[in-house]
Every structure is written in C-alpha cells, then in structure tokens.
Structure 1
Amino acid sequence: MAEKKKRFRKVFGIILLLLFFAGAVVAWIGYQAFMGPSVTDKQEYLYIKTNDTFEDVLHTVTEQQIVKNPTLFRYIADAMEYPDNVKPGRYKLTEGMSNRRLIGNLRGGYQEAVKFRFENIRLKENFAALLGKNFEADSTTFIEILGNEEVAESYGFTSENFFTMFIPNTYEIYWNTAPNKIITRFHDEYNKFWTPDRKEKAAAIGLRPQEVSILASIVKGEALHTDEMPDIAGLYLNRLEKGMLLQADPTVIFANNDFTIRRVLNRHLTIDNPYNTYRYGGLPPGPIMLPSIASIDAVLNHKKHDYIYMCAKDDFSGYHNFARTQAEHLVNARKFQRALTERNIMR
C-alpha cells in the first residue's frame, strides 16, 4: 500500500513538473508573441490606405515581410481587437519592435507625419507628381485641384496665379490627409508668410502679393546666386516703373515650353504667348516656376539703383553685368554671345 502511494506521488510529481514546463513553454511563447521582437528590417514604414480592411493589412504585412511570423501577428491582432479598429496612415517601423507595440500603434492611429519639403518646382504637373509621390492621393487628383478655377478662386486666386500660393518650405502632414485639406494647409502657411510687414512692402512698390511672387519667379529664373537677386529685382521694378517690356529670357523659355534652351534666339522671341515678356507688357499672368522665399524677399527688399539692362557675364560665373544705357548693354551682350559661340552653344 505504501509502495503504491509512493509510486502515485512520484507519478503525480512528474505530471506536475510536466504541467509546469508546459505552462512555462506556453507562457514563453505567449510572451514572445506579445512582447518579443517581431518587426524585421525589410521596410521603414507600413502604409495602410483609406478603406483598407484587416485582411488588407495582413496581406501587406505578409507580402512585405514586415513581421517574422504573420500567424502570431494575426493572433495578437485578434487578441487586441485590432481587426475592428483599422486606421489608415503611414506607420514608422523599428527593427525588433514587438507585435504588441506595433499593433498598439496601428490600433491607436499613431502614425508619423510626412516631412514634405519642396523647392525648384517649375510646373504644376511637377508639383502634382511630387505630392502624389509623398501622399496617399495620386498625382492626377492633385493636378485636377491645381488646375481648378473654382478651387483657385475660393482661396482668392486665379487659375493662372494659383501656383503662387505654395510657399517652398518644410511641412509636416499626415500621409493619408485628404487632398483638399493638404491644399488648405498650404493656404494657412501662405497667410502666415504674408505678414503685415511683407504686405506693406508689397504695397510700397505697387504690387499685390501674387504679383510679387510672379516677379520673384522671374528673378529666381534669372539668378543663379541668391546674393544677386535684389539687384535683378531692382532692375525689373525699374522697367515696370518706366513702362518698359521686361524682356526676361526665362519667360521666353517658359512660353516656348522648351526648358532645354540655353541660348535664346530671335525665333524664340516671336511666340505669341502672354508669358513672352518680349511681346507682352507688364507681368505675365502667373509664375514661371515656384518662387523661393529668398526671391520673394529679394523683390520686397530690392536694391535701389538705375540699371535697366543686364546680361550674363561671359565668364559663365552665373553673375550678370548691369547697364544703364542700351549702348553699355550691347557691349556686354556681344561679349556673352561671343562666349556662347566659342563654347558651341547654339541653342
């Protein structure tokens, strides 16, 4: 009898030990599933589109090898009630992140904003393509907005000068933000940029903010060096004041829609286009590119002088020779034309 009890206790002890080890294994697996490293180094961000379901998210996570074990990811997602709480966005991934932390971020919608920076944009199509590359909506949606007369008028612009509303800077915007709200964000920045001081300076030279930006786009097109922008701006303002044609080569290139032109020829000047400032007086109806903040401020803080002519220097330094008379200008122009010919730059 005692022997049986002894055997029973031994078996019972073994069973308890096995149960203990089984529990430890289950606990370890559970810990690893919840808290252990899960996210791989395959992707930097997880993008979840508007209207994506949990199955869509699971497919992305699996196809892009975002987590080591998609089955465990699904198990934890169910446990955390994530399938009913999918939120779109751009979520930062860190190698070794646990399922619990990742799903917690996804469930809470804790996405990382896009740091969107732009400059040196020539056309609306270029800007729309950049927006489409950085945000959920595609470029077609953005180009439709940028070319929409009603949208432009709702912000106080025309379809021609609407492009001047976009101030080159760095913006933090969530990836899945609706396109119309992204445009509103740019408008808010525009209003902040045009401070009372800037508006006062614009009024002092007889220009509206949109016109300042149009002129600034020409200044930017002419200037290779920021420190020369105030001189160039002063020259064009002198021409406007005298009622002279601006005769700005960058506007001719824009009017011809040929940005490979390096040497503006007489045939380029004949195009009948309101952006051709060799034929049409005053400012063109819109910017020839997105002006930089530096070029806008160069117009507002232009250098006061009596120059009305300029020509690129023949040393190809990017700087210009300025002149007060046509005779002086012709001397400078001949030097530059000769330098172009010597370098076989014919168009």
Structure 2
Amino acid sequence: MRRAIGVFLIWAAGMGLLAALLVGAGLAMHYWHQPLAQEATTVTVESGQSMPRIAASIHEVQPAIPARAIDWTARFRGQARSIQAGEYEIRPGERLASLLDRMVAGDVIEYRFTVPEGITAQGFLDRLAEAPRIRRTIEELTPEAVIESLDLPVDHLEGWLYPDTYQYPAGTSDRTLIKRAFRQMREALDAAWAARADDLPLDDPYEALILASVIEKETGISGERGEVAGVFVNRLRRGMRLQTDPTVIYGMGDDYDGRLYSRHLREDTPYNTYTRDGLPPTPIALPSAASIEAATRPAETDAFYFVADGTGGHAFSRTLKEHNRAVARWRIHQREQGDRP
C-alpha cells in the first residue's frame, strides 16, 4: 500500500509539474505573440543597464506583458547579457522576440544631419548645433574652440570638415562627429594627393585643399570642375593672379550683403586674389571630393579665363580679348534679366 501511495504521489507531482509547465508554456506563447505596441514608440537602454530594468522599460510600453516574463524570456533565449545600449523603435505590431533580437543586434534609431558641399566650417558647426539627440561636450561651437578642445593638428578649421550626410545614434557626442568629419576629409585629401597629376604648381596637400575650396565655390556643375581647376592651374603656372570673386567674398566676412561691386575687388584683404598673388591663405569653404579630385588632377586646357554664360555654367576663353567678349555677352544677359517683370 505504501508503495502504491508513493507511486501515486510521484505521478501526481509529475502531473502537477507537467501541468505547470504547460500553463507556463501557454502563458509564454501568449506573451510572445502579444504585440508590444499598436503605434511606433521608443524604448531606451542605458549603458550598463540590468536586464530587469530593461524589462521594466518594455513593460511600461506594454503593461499586459509582466516585466518578469520579459526578463525570463531574454534569459531563456540567452540574450540577457547581449543587449546593446541605445534608443530603439518598437514598431507597430512588433513582438517581444523581434525586439530582443534587434536589441542584441544593436539596431538602434539613427539620426542624421546633412552638411552641403561648399558651406563654411562655421556652417558645419551651426548645423551640428541644431542636430537632434547630440550630446554636447564643447561649450562653444566655433572653429577656434573646436581646434583647442579636440587638439586638432591644424591652425585653421576651414576646409577640414568633410561635407556629407552623417548618421548617428542618440547620445553621440559633438566631438565624435567632428572627429569623423575631420578624418574623412584627411583621408580624401591624402588619397587625392597621392594620385595627383605631375608638375602641379602646388607645394603640399593643404594647397590642394585651398584650391579645391575655390573650385567648389566657383562652380556647382560637376562637368566643369576639371576645367575650372585647369584654368587656375594655368594661371598659377604663369604667375597670373587668380582673380576669383569667391575669395574676395570670403575675405569680406560679415560685410558681404549678397552684392559684390568693383570697389570690393580693389579693397585689399589676405583673401583678395585680385590684389594678392597666388592662393588665398586658407580654404574658403568645405570642398567636395569631386573638387579635391579636380584640384589634384585638373583637366588639360589652354583657357586662362572664364565667366558665367547665363545658363548656369561658364564660358572659357584662351585670351583676354575672347574673355572680354564673353564678359560683354554676360552683361547683356544680366541687363535682359533685369528688364524682365
């Protein structure tokens, strides 16, 4: 009898355990198939945060799933110690397993800010200051403060930040993105300089960066960059002044109101290439990779002059006489445009 009772008790315990397992499995399946959210929302995992805390954050989004069940699920799937810090989007209708998989993969929300080609270094920093979810570590975003804070090996920041669209997760620091932009420009410049054409009238990569910035401001037409570069290289080789308006405008600083007059071309500044020989002392903008390529591998041309042609491009001339005729045509075009209602 005792043996029968013992067998019965073991059987009953086993059945109870099996029933508990079945109930637990049923609950788990229910929780696993429960949508976390009907609309997109976010949850943030802090660096070093424990699994129970992460589970509690997910539970706040979907109270129908107990935090303990979320914690247990992550541990059962071997993911509790592999979740990466960051901000995650919980997609409409997404299940717990999918979210945990993405948390392990580090599929965080990425933000972006775009830096157009041809803006200044200060323009880059202004856009960075307005970018969302950036961790601010540099009190004043000016070129001088950035050089000092990051200990960059340059005297002037102009030209040294690569224009691009930058993607980053929430909490990325401003210095991280500036360092990335500086590194990308350094790499692009070094690669172009290593593959430069022979006999360039440029002494070092920095002069190539300066010339590239001038090319960038002179034309936005990709097919013209090489020829514009060729004109400037021809003039440098012959000892002619570059006589390019964008350098004058840059030298005017805040005094430039959108209009450039002939008197401005006579007012001497370090950046006035009508009154000064050679290149300006620093870049005048952030050049694109295409402009850097043009500066280091300019097109072969016999032109020494160019002027706007009224179509968005430029007319290139070999002699001053040809150039003066092109300028006359441009002025006629300007007058005609001014007469239009």
Assess if the C-alpha contact under 8 Å between 2:188 and 2:289 holds in 1. Answer: no
Matches of 2:307 and 2:161 in 1, distance apart? 30
Alpha-carbon displacement from aligned partner over 1:216-271 (angstroms, at most 9, x marks no partner): 1211211132111111111112222333332212223333447873x632244355
Provide closer, same or farther for how the CA distance between residues 113 and 212 of structure 1 changes in structure 2, counting only shifts above 3 A. farther
Give the distance between the partners of 2:278 and 2:209, measured in 1 at CA: 14
CA contact (8 A) 2:213 2:291 kept: yes
Instruction: Compute the displacement of 1:311 (Å).
Output: 0.8
The correspondence for 1:137, drawn from 113, 116, 135, is 135
Higher mean displacement: 229-238 or 190-199: 190-199
- Tell me what 1:325 maps to: 319
Number of equivalenced pairs:
316
1:193 matched to 2:191? The reply is no
Match of 1:31 in 2: 29
C-alpha contact (below 8 Å) 1:123/1:289 kept by paired residues = yes
Decide whether aligned partners of structure 1 residues 39 and 171 sit closer, same or farther in structure 2, where only a CA change above 3 A counts.
same
Kindly provide the amino acid, as one letter, of the partner of residue 149 in structure 1: I
Q: For 1:50-199, what aligned pairs fall within 5 Å after superposition?
A: 67=61, 69-70=62-63, 72=65, 74-79=67-72, 80=74, 88-103=85-100, 105-106=102-103, 108=104, 110-112=106-108, 114=110, 118-132=115-129, 133=131, 136-138=134-136, 143-144=141-142, 147-150=145-148, 154-158=151-155, 160=156, 162-168=157-163, 174-194=169-189, 198-199=193-194
C-alpha displacement at 1:171, in angstroms?
Answer: 6.1
In structure 1, C-alpha distance between the alignment counterparts of 2:56 and 2:268, rounded to whole Å = 57
Query: Contact (CA 8 Å) 1:216, 1:298: kept in 2 or not?
Result: yes
Answering whether residue 333 of structure 2 is matched by residue 339 of structure 1, we say yes
Give the equivalent residue in structure 2 for 1:3: none
Cα distance in 1 for residues equivalent to 2:55 and 2:199: 56
Q: Secondary structure at the match of 2:88?
A: strand
Contact 2:162–2:185 (CA under 8 A) maintained in structure 1: yes
Hey, what does 2:238 align to over in structure 1? 242
Following the alignment from structure 1 to structure 2, what is the Cα–Cα distance between the partners of residues 61 and 289?
A: 50
Q: Write the deviation string for residues 131-171 of structure 1: whole angstroms up to 9, x where unpaired.
A: 4526632496683577433357x44322x2x3433334566
**Who is 2:216 aligned against?**
220
Q: Which residue of 2 aligns with 1:296?
A: 292
Instruction: Say which SS state the counterpart of residue 343 (structure 1) adopts.
Output: helix
The AA in structure 2 aligned to 1:288 is I
User: Over aligned residue pairs, what C-alpha RMSD do you find?
Assistant: 4.4
Decide whether the 8 Å contact of 2:43 with 2:57 is kept in 1.
no
Instruction: State the AA in 2 paired with 1:72.
Output: I
Question: What 5-or-longer segments of structure 1 have no aligned partner?
Answer: 1-15
Task: From the superposition, tell whether residues 47 and 86 of structure 1 become closer, same or farther in structure 2 (CA, over 3 Å).
Answer: same
Aligned residues of 2:118 and 2:216 also touching (Cα < 8 A): no
**Which of 213, 222, 232 is residue 228 of structure 2 equivalent to?**
232
| Residues 340, 73 of structure 1: alpha-carbon distance in 2 compared, 3 angstrom cutoff | farther
Could you tell me whether the CA contact under 8 Å between 1:321 and 1:332 is conserved in 2? yes
Shift of 1:329: 2.0
CA–CA distance in structure 1, aligned partners of residues 311 and 319 of structure 2 = 23
Q: Show the counterpart of 2:274.
A: 278
Q: Is the Cα–Cα contact under 8 Å of residues 248 and 273 in structure 2 kept in the other structure?
A: yes
Task: Give unmatched runs, 5+ long, in structure 2.
Answer: 1-14
Report the Cα distance in structure 1 between the residues aligned to 2:300 and 2:236, rounded to whole angstroms.
14
Tell me if structure 1 keeps the 8 A contact 2:231–2:303.
Answer: yes
2:65 counterpart letter in structure 1:
L
Contact 2:121 2:161 in 1 (8 A): no
Change (3 A) 1:103 1:214: same
| Contact persistence 2:55–2:71 (CA under 8 A) | no
Give the 3-state SS of the residue equivalent to 1:322 in structure 2.
strand
